[in-house]
Structure 1
Amino acid sequence: MKRLREEELRKHRHNIKEILLCSNATPIRKYAIGYVCCFCTKNFPEAADLKEHTIKEHDENTKSEFMKKERMQHFVVKLDITALKCTLCEKGLLTVEDLITHLQNEHDKTMFTDIKSHIIPFKFEDAKLKCSFCPHTFDRFKVLQEHMYTHYDNFVCNVCGTGFVNERMLYNHKLTHKVGHFKCCVPRNVNAPIRLGNPKNVTRTRRRIAEPKDIKINEITKHRSNIHLILQCTNATPIRCRGGIGYACSFCGDEYPDPADLKKHTLEVHDDKAKLKFMAGKMMFSYLVKLDITDLTCKICNGKFDTLELISDHLMKTHDKKMFTDIKNHVMTFKFGDDALKCMFCQNVYYKFKNLQQHMNVHYRNFVCEFCDAGFINKNVLTCHVEGHKTGTFKCDLCPKVFDTHRKKKSHEKSVHIHANLLNKCGYCQMKFTNYKKKDEHLVKVHGVTMKTIRCHACDKTFDNKGALSTHTKRDHLMERKYKCTECDMGFYLPNALKLHMVKHTGERTFKCTVCSKSYGRHKTLREHMRIHNDDRRFKCEHCGQAFVQKCSWKGHMRSRHGELV
């Protein structure tokens, strides 16, 4: 145990050293008179002044020694990540996680991601102190700091379910749950501070000790107990996400293009001991389990079941297993039976797993948005959704652009600044592409990946994505024609098609040949005409070898000379 703790501490020290050496992130301490430098104890009334001081006055040798003497039980780093950027390439970043990923992928830095985070990030962007994880704001740094602990579950209190960053904080917290009579150790005198001699404070403290909160411990414990039993007694397997290669294992991170291969890997490689650690430390705020229940089977009696609810009922009634049924469902179930990704509840079909997962939220109403009545599986997803309803002025943290909603701002930051180079990245060789189509072509040609296609149920045509299928269905089967010609009865699916059609009525010829001065109403016609001047004979007869500039000439030749209709 001691050796494991020392190894974990080494990894934490290495990570914070790389962060301080390769970014403008700076450690902070807070006292009554302001913010204190972690290296020389100088005080500054503003966090920005401390940041400037730390970057200018303290060199790499000093930063390398940071946290060298701290023990694992007390290890916690408060980090100012205002206007966070990588100092190796000057790239702007939003979070510590983004920085760690960037240093790994772009600069080949060794960063340990198999440890829980002991870093508490802060951003000082305006007068209000805002939480880096959720929209809450605070007037005092101390209150913000106490709130930030709610987002950590490294160590969880077994009485009230509260999470803490390190072991020492949990130990101090547990003392408040002790019930009994506690005599004050400080003798009362006239010079004593008000808080020691004030009966109001004593009463409040006694009440807090005598009545420990019991809010979330039962719920989170029940959820963990249920999922551990399901993983041990059935062939249901958790899935983490769908990354660059495929579906990721929740235990070791290996990826598989086919979910059936991931299921086989999970059942064969990871034993019950590993499964008992699944979801350990997770709190109710973000609790969500994605479960593959394809060919769902009871391991005890080999019985087959269609849904998680049916097999849970079976385990309780047939095998006398203890499962909690008085809690909301936080498990998303998926079946991978064929090429189509189908919703378990309504059979809607999706091309991407991400889109299916987003859709699945509509079938859960554990938490409901007060603005639009949309339902969500956990509070974290609801919190992110509610941000999208906020309107106002939201400036990008990394460039001067301003947006009218928080959602647009976040979407811009992720696509333009943070993940711009990662959106179209090959999961096999890390090669980057400007768009997803080029990446797909690369996957097929270089790595032999078979891309899934979507078939139209009306005409059997196939498409690469749902958007192309939707366009085809509206245009070719539903005959949708939004754009009407004002001169005749014709309608068009796209505005550009209407624009090309209007040339017939206006007779306008804006595209002029630079060689012979002939004019045309459409750019396409001019382009075809230019092939005459370039002697571009691309249409060749396969029988006699004669070549033609225009397709119509080739068709006429095939019909008159060879009796073929093409």
Structure 2
Amino acid sequence: MLTHTGEKKYECTECDASFKLSSSLKRHMLTHTGEKKHACNECSAMFSRSGDLKRHMLTHTGEKKHACNECSAMFSRSGELKRHMSTHTREKKYECTECDAILKLSSYLRRHMLTHTGEKMHLCNECGTKFLRSGDLKQHMLTHTGEKKHACNECGARFLRLCHLKQHMLTHTGEKKHACNECGARFLRPGHLKQHMLTHTGEKKYECTECDASFKLSSNLKQHMLTHTGEKKHACNECGARFLRSVHLKRHMSTHTGKKKYPGRVIPKTLKLAI
């Protein structure tokens, strides 16, 4: 009947809050006393409410009792199921005031708005780099910790990112799913296909700011720029000689190791005389 009358006769003595039920008042009082009497038997976590403890226990049991009626997805919490259901209904009710984008969730809209404001609020404590998203910061932190948690089951190689592991797995399966529409050539990675397509289009979009040279690949432009800056970043550990390119260093290293580039090859007499 209280839902009809709206009467809230249970008043908090600490603040102005009032409640319809005494049980609601008891739960509220915990926010003032700070009492956490609901303990987790698996770890030392304590909670003010029994409902909070029940939700916490799911992190130990892994129980997912909230099922999606549209697909086989299962979730630990009802809120997660509601968010998932929007992927089926395609409901998009959060509109961006800057552009025509419409997002499913308010959290998606908040992240989207950062693309307009340019605000990077996720800061790396190691180097000071800022990121738009927390996920980007987490990936970046791996470059500091060096943790490579994605392992290949075939050869044991480990990688910082899952996408790198997926690319590596193609070297075992040999699958080349990226096909050229012009000549039918197939490639392991989409980047390799993009580079290959330049052989058909002949486009050289990477231009040198110092001279009129232009290149198909950004890596070729970077190498070319060294001819202007004179930077020789490839150093020999044996004698300290420095080179513009890594291939020049490799050739130089053979002068220390004595390793012949073409072992076992017989040099013609005429070539010997020319040498």
TM-score, normalising length: structure 1: 0.32
Distance 1:440 1:390 in 2: 29
Contact kept in structure 2, 1:454 and 1:462, CA below 8 Å: yes
Q: 1:411 to 1:548 in 2, by over 3 A?
A: same
Structure 2: tracts of 5 or more residues without a match: 234-275
Classify 1:454/1:535 alpha carbon distance in 2 versus 1 (closer, same or farther; 3 Å).
Answer: same
Other structure's SS at 1:421 match:
coil
> Does the CA contact (< 8 Å) of 1:510 and 1:519 recur in 2?
yes
CA distance in 1, matches of 2:64, 2:118: 45
**1:391–1:477 CA distance, 2 compared to 1 (3 A):** closer
Answer 1 or 2: higher relative contact order, Cα 8 Å, separation at least 6. 1
Task: Report the equivalent of 1:494.
Answer: 161
The one-letter code matched in structure 2 to 1:225 is: T
Native 8 Å contact 2:38 2:49 kept in 1 = yes
Report the CA distance between 1:526 and its aligned residue. Answer: 1.1
Is the contact between residue 285 and residue 379 of structure 1 (CA under 8 Å) also seen in structure 2? no
Which of residues 10, 17, 20 in structure 2 aligns to 1:279? 17
Q: Which residue of 2 aligns with 1:525?
A: 192
Q: Which amino acid aligns with 1:330?
A: T
Q: Aligned AA for 2:210?
A: H
Q: 2:82 aligns with which of 413, 433, 438?
A: 413
Q: Is the 8 A contact 2:175 2:188 kept in 1?
A: yes
SS in 1 for 2:164: helix
Q: Note closer, same or farther for the CA distance 1:531–1:414 as it changes in structure 2 (3 Å cut).
A: same
Pair 427,390 (structure 1): closer, same or farther in 2 beyond 3 Å = farther
Letter in 2 for 1:365: K
Give TM-score, length-normalised by structure 2.
Answer: 0.58
Q: Percent identity?
A: 22
Cα distance in structure 2, aligned partners of 1:495 and 1:390: 23
Q: SS of 1:559's equivalent?
A: helix
Unpaired runs of at least 5, structure 1: 1-75, 77-115, 119-152, 162-220, 228-277, 290-327, 333-362
For 1:547 and 1:505, locate their aligned partners in 2 and report how far apart those are by CA, in whole Å.
36
The answer for the alignment partner of 1:455 in structure 2 is: 123
For 2:48, give the aligned amino acid. Answer: I
Compared with structure 1, are the counterparts of its residues 403 and 421 closer, same or farther at alpha carbon in structure 2 (3 Å cutoff)? same
Q: CA RMSD in A?
A: 4.6
Q: C-alpha distance in 2, partners of 1:508/1:419?
A: 34
AA aligned to 1:421 is K
Q: How many positions carry a matched residue from both structures?
A: 227
Cα pair 1:482 1:492 within 8 Å, conserved: yes
Could you tell me whether the CA contact under 8 Å between 1:440 and 1:451 is conserved in 2? Answer: no
Counterpart for residue 239 of structure 1: none
The residue number in structure 2 matching 1:479 is: 146
Amino acid at match of 1:154: G
Cα gap change, 1:479 to 1:379, in 2 (>3 Å)? same
Matches within 5 A, 1:1-12: none
8 A Cα contact 2:40 2:57, kept in partner: yes
Superposed displacement of residue 492, structure 1: 1.0
Contact 2:91 2:104 in 1 (8 A): no
Give the corresponding residue for 1:8.
none
Match of 1:514 among 177, 181, 197: 181
Contact kept, 8 Å, 2:147 with 2:160, in 1: the verdict is yes
1: CA distance, partners of 2:217 / 2:45: 57
CA distance in 2, matches of 1:382, 1:487: 41
1:552 match: 219
1:468 is paired with a residue of what secondary structure?
A: helix
Deviations 1:120-167 (A, max 9, x none): xxxxxxxxxxxxxxxxxxxxxxxxxxxxxxxxx93245xxx5xxxxxx
Using the TM superposition, give the Cα deviation of residue 559 of structure 1 relative to its aligned residue in structure 2, in angstroms: 2.8
Assess, with a 3 A threshold, how the Cα gap between structure 1 residues 286 and 384 changes in structure 2: closer, same or farther: farther
- Once the two structures are superposed, residues 394-414 of structure 1 have per-residue CA deviations (whole angstroms, 9 ceiling, x without a partner) of 555xx4456666x34552134
The residue number in structure 1 matching 2:236 is none
* Deviation string, structure 1 residues 336-381 (Cα, Å, up to 9, x no partner): xxxxxxxxxxxxxxxxxxxxxxxxxxx8614446787743334554
> CA contact under 8 A between 1:285 and 1:378: conserved in structure 2?
no
Structure 2 CA distance for aligned equivalents of residues 432 and 466 of structure 1: 22
Residue 539 of structure 1 and its aligned partner are, at CA, apart by 1.0
The match for 1:155 is 7
- Please name the residue that 1:469 is paired with: 137
